[in-house]
Amino acid sequence: MSEWHKTACSLCYVNCGIEVQTEGRAITRVRGDRENPRSRGYLCQKAQRLTWYGDHNDRLTTPLRRREDGTHEPVSWEKALREIAAKLRAVRDADLAAGRPGSMAYVGGGGQGNHSGGGYGLALRKWMNSSRFFGALSQEKTGDFWVNGKMFGGQTNHTAEGVEECDLLLVIGCNPWLANGFNRARSAVNDIKNDPGRRMVVIDPRRTETAEVADVHLPLRPGTDAYLLGAMLALIIERGGQDDEFLATHTEGFDEVKAALGRIPVDDWITHAEVEREDVDRAVDLILAAEAMTVRVELGIQQGRNSTLNSYLEKLLYLLTGNFGRPGTNALHTWLMPLWSESRGERSEITGFEYIGGMLPLNTLAEEILADHPNRARVLWVESSNPANTAADTASVERAIRAAELSVVIDVAFTETAALADYVLPAASQHEKWEFTFFDFEFPTNYFHLRPPLFDPLPGTLVEAEIYARLFEELGLLDASTVDELARVPRVELLKAASPVLQENPAVAPVLLYRTLGRTLPNGAAVAAVLWPGCLTLAKRMPVAVQRALDTDLEGPALASELFDRILANPSGLAFTRHSYDEVWQLMRHDRVHLAVPELLSWLESLDPERDRSDPEYPLSLINGQRRRHNANQILRPPSWRRTDPDGALHVRTDDLTAVSAEAGDWVAIVSRVGRIVVRAEIDDSLRKGQVALPHGFGMSVPDGHGGRVVHGPRINVITDAHDRDPIAGTPHHKDMPVRLERATAAEVAAAARDAEVVHALISAGS
């Protein structure tokens, strides 16, 4: 019987602890790791397919350089890094000479399971004097971060959910049954369903698998969440449902909020959302009766109309009713190291968008590069992200990648973004290196998981930290004898000893840690060196919470050192902070929650059902990027991994499909303001009338088995309008895209059917 190895699932950001058996480079069996203190053995339907991530024939195994004709040729690591370093230096010198801001655009820095490379990549961006940072978070969560900054005082004051202990779960715009998104999601939903004392309300246009088991489902018209949530808040206040004691003790600005809510024409707005007043009253009844409500939201409102306003209203729901900082409610959480940073209102010179959490909207990446502006971005650096498939408006993104003076992609696979880049650098996979994420969103106890590798790096690949360290060395920024000297300094004195080097060039910090402290870590865990400053800061800022989690009375640097050692020694992960509920206020930057956010109250007042009608040219609402049983972002690329949905079908109701004289299985065209794609139609009558859905996580170009490539499923962002976006956060409205359905032409049908046939053959052959 072969051994079980501990790791984590990297197919969504919940990162469940798992145990796997392996054979060669394949993962042959997967089970939940019961010793993982957070996920406690939980797994969803996707984890069993994990082997398809790193073990396939489209892995990168050598650096590639783009030829004039657009194809790539293999080059050695030495040559690739030498050429890239020379170009980076030339651009940096030109930026400095012109007195303009650094012109590197950095995208990514980590995906669902890997954040070890990001810190090193950001160091490079810093050396390039650039603040231009884009990522998946800046096309989904930045509106939420902006609101957190206003209400709690910090954009890293991110909220946690108390799903496992709540007596009312309010689910808005997400489908945990298929997408998970929080710890042990399916078990948690089942527990609520089976407990007569616990309730669930779902706000989602579609009768989702989660809505199916809810006590109340409000199937609102897509894009009307701000109206419905506004009306619900107004009803709560009308019925005196606010928690006066909580508001008086912990918040300010309630009177302004109350006045704004008092002006809401409740019935008009409920009518506009096209839900029954009776059902809304039942939902409000449940909220007012709840001892402990948790609100769980995701892309349905964060990538929907009025998204930043929605993020405000959902927070008001739990704050006005005092469902915060108690067991089973929402709260704030700690960080080992924050995954994003604080911005202070700086804006892009090119688009005028505000930096939020240190990021610019991914939606504006192409504009930053393609702008006719002296300070446009000139270098595009992509690490662990595939914007050619995942950012809005594929055509513009592709143009921007080509237009950059230097484009570099670091990935494990030959992605659609890599296919256009000047240089492609092959990374070791998440199973071939020490890895971790900063997706630690729990309160009152929070957890961290550093995973050891399962395999050696695939020959030809390097760990990201090593790639950056070699690049910094090539740039002459790391002196070998200084490194040797510092590598001998004990951990607790290292940062002080390194301070002359860091003062001269602060950007090298992560790489310096990797080359010095990293060298001393057991079993090749060098990348973990970047966690050390996080341990020091945490031990200083919240020693008691760390002491409780580790059950020790060590203090200061000794406490930090103990935490760091325990992280290294616990392959199932560990608790790193433990608070009591009343300590939640210590995590908040403001002294009291600022309930009144003037920009958002005036946005709320400006809502007008009359101006919010659909465009008769594009009468349907498309969920452009639905989470399904077998999709997982762009992480699993070989077609064979999918047990369902081989074509990435369009889901459409019978009546909406019949309206274009098509039937299930037909190829149909989806047309938006910016593009047209041809997709296979499949019936889903759980959708709302007029709503259609395309899956996230398709559109990969994969080897066809005959020396060519074939595109697997829809490239959904070909039809996304990057300018249809949130006015504050610039995030796209993926969940409510105006489209129409047409019959596909004979030529389109023939081409689509040909590709599908190739894909089906690959699936039958198991590749």
Q: Choose the contact partner of 715 out of ligand SF4, ligand MGD, none; CB within 5 to 8 A by kind.
A: none
Q: Does 202 bind ligand SF4 (CB under 6 A)?
A: no
Q: Which position's Cβ is nearest ligand MGD?
A: 625
What gap in Å lies between CA 293 and CA 187, rounded to an integer?
18
- Interface mask toward ligand SF4 for 126-165; x: CB under 6 A: ----------------------------------------
What gap in Å lies between CA 49 and CA 34, rounded to an integer?
19
Tokens for 130? 């650039």
Least Å distance, CB 186 to ligand SF4, is 8
- Within 239-327, residue ranges assigned H as helices are 244-250, 254-262, 266-273, 277-289, 299-302, 307-320
Q: Which is nearer to ligand MGD, 131 or 303 (CB)?
A: 303
Q: What are phi and psi of 613, to 5 degrees?
A: -100, 155
Q: Which is nearer to ligand SF4, 16 or 428 (CB)?
A: 16
- The region of 9-17, 384-392, 499-507, 692-700 touching ligand SF4 under the rule CB under 6 A is 9-17
Q: Does 631 bind ligand SF4 (CB under 6 A)?
A: no
Q: Are 536 and 557 in contact (CB under 8 A)?
A: yes
Q: Are 273 and 231 in contact (CB under 8 A)?
A: yes
Give burial (CB, 10 Å; 0-12/13-18/19+) of 666.
middle
What is the DSSP code (8-state) at residue 669? E
Whole-number CA gyration radius for the chain? 26
Q: Which is nearer to ligand SF4, 89 or 186 (CB)?
A: 186
Q: Is the dihedral of CA 682, 685, 689, 694 positive or negative?
A: negative
Q: Choose the contact partner of 717 out of ligand SF4, ligand MGD, none; CB within 5 to 8 A by kind.
A: ligand MGD
What gap in Å lies between CA 408 and CA 415, rounded to an integer?
12
Q: How far is CA 252 from CA 274, 311, 319, 441, 593, in A?
A: 33, 19, 11, 26, 6
Least Å distance, CB 763 to ligand SF4, is 21
What gap in Å lies between CA 493 and CA 515, rounded to an integer?
16
Least Å distance, CB 583 to ligand MGD, is 29
What gap in Å lies between CA 17 and CA 50, rounded to an integer?
13
What is the DSSP code (8-state) at residue 560? H
Q: How far is CA 254 from CA 240, 249, 251, 322, 597, in A?
A: 13, 12, 7, 12, 11
Least Å distance, CB 697 to ligand SF4, is 12
Q: What are phi and psi of 88, to 5 degrees?
A: -60, -45
Least Å distance, CB 672 to ligand MGD, is 11
Q: Which is nearer to ligand MGD, 18 or 498 (CB)?
A: 18
Q: Which of 6, 7, 12, 296 lies at the binding interface for ligand SF4 (CB under 6 A)?
A: 12
Q: Choose the contact partner of 43 out of ligand MGD, ligand SF4, none; CB within 5 to 8 A by kind.
A: ligand SF4
Q: Which is nearer to ligand MGD, 625 or 648 (CB)?
A: 625
Least Å distance, CB 17 to ligand SF4, is 9
Q: Which is nearer to ligand SF4, 316 or 574 (CB)?
A: 574
Question: How large is the angle between the packed helices 464-474 and 77-98, nearest 10 degrees?
Answer: 60
Q: Are 672 and 738 in contact (CB under 8 A)?
A: yes
Q: Choose the contact partner of 674 out of ligand MGD, ligand SF4, none; CB within 5 to 8 A by kind.
A: none
Those residues with Cβ within 8 angstroms of residue 568's Cβ, 6 or more apart along the chain or in another chain: 450, 521, 522, 525, 528
Q: Which of 20, 43, 567, 679 lies at the binding interface for ligand SF4 (CB under 6 A)?
A: 43
Q: Choose the contact partner of 15 out of ligand SF4, ligand MGD, none; CB within 5 to 8 A by kind.
A: ligand SF4
Q: Does 188 bind ligand SF4 (CB under 6 A)?
A: no
- The region of 4-12, 291-299, 452-460, 595-603 touching ligand SF4 under the rule CB under 6 A is 4-12
Question: Taking Cα atoms as reference points, which of 665, 721, 645, 655 lies closest to residue 692?
Answer: 655
Least Å distance, CB 16 to ligand SF4, is 3
Q: Does 595 bind ligand SF4 (CB under 6 A)?
A: no
Least Å distance, CB 188 to ligand SF4, is 11
Q: Which of 5, 6, 11, 392 lies at the binding interface for ligand SF4 (CB under 6 A)?
A: 11
What gap in Å lies between CA 346 and CA 131, rounded to an integer?
10
What gap in Å lies between CA 605 and CA 715, rounded to an integer?
37
Q: Which of 180, 386, 461, 720 lies at the binding interface for ligand SF4 (CB under 6 A)?
A: 180
Q: Does 16 bind ligand SF4 (CB under 6 A)?
A: yes
Q: Choose the contact partner of 401 out of ligand SF4, ligand MGD, none; CB within 5 to 8 A by kind.
A: none
Is omega for the bond preceding 616 within 30 degrees of 0, making it cis? no
What gap in Å lies between CA 574 and CA 571, rounded to an integer?
9
Q: Choose the contact partner of 203 out of ligand MGD, ligand SF4, none; CB within 5 to 8 A by kind.
A: ligand MGD
Give the residues across from 679 on adjacent strands.
668
Q: Choose the contact partner of 231 out of ligand SF4, ligand MGD, none; CB within 5 to 8 A by kind.
A: none
Could you tell me how many residues of this chain bind ligand SF4 (CB under 6 A)? 11
- The region of 11-19, 65-73, 114-122, 545-553 touching ligand SF4 under the rule CB under 6 A is 11-19
Q: Choose the contact partner of 16 out of ligand SF4, ligand MGD, none; CB within 5 to 8 A by kind.
A: ligand SF4
Least Å distance, CB 580 to ligand MGD, is 31
Q: Is the dihedral of CA 561, 563, 568, 569 positive or negative?
A: positive
What gap in Å lies between CA 509 and CA 762, rounded to an integer?
46
Length of the chain: 767
Q: Which residues bind ligand MGD (CB under 6 A)?
A: 12, 111-112, 114, 117, 136, 139-140, 172-175, 178-181, 203-206, 208, 222-223, 225, 298-301, 304, 383-386, 390, 410-413, 415, 427, 429-430, 464, 623-628, 631-635, 696-697, 716-717, 720, 734-736
Least Å distance, CB 202 to ligand SF4, is 19
Q: Does 635 bind ligand SF4 (CB under 6 A)?
A: no
Q: Does 20 bind ligand SF4 (CB under 6 A)?
A: no
Helix, strand or coil, per DSSP, at residue 291? coil
Q: Choose the contact partner of 47 out of ligand SF4, ligand MGD, none; CB within 5 to 8 A by kind.
A: ligand SF4
Q: Which is nearer to ligand MGD, 224 or 242 (CB)?
A: 224
What gap in Å lies between CA 679 and CA 744, rounded to an integer?
9
Q: Are 386 and 634 in contact (CB under 8 A)?
A: yes
Q: Which is nearer to ligand SF4, 12 or 741 (CB)?
A: 12
> Which residues make up the interface to ligand SF4 (CB under 6 A)?
9, 11-12, 14-16, 43-44, 46-47, 180
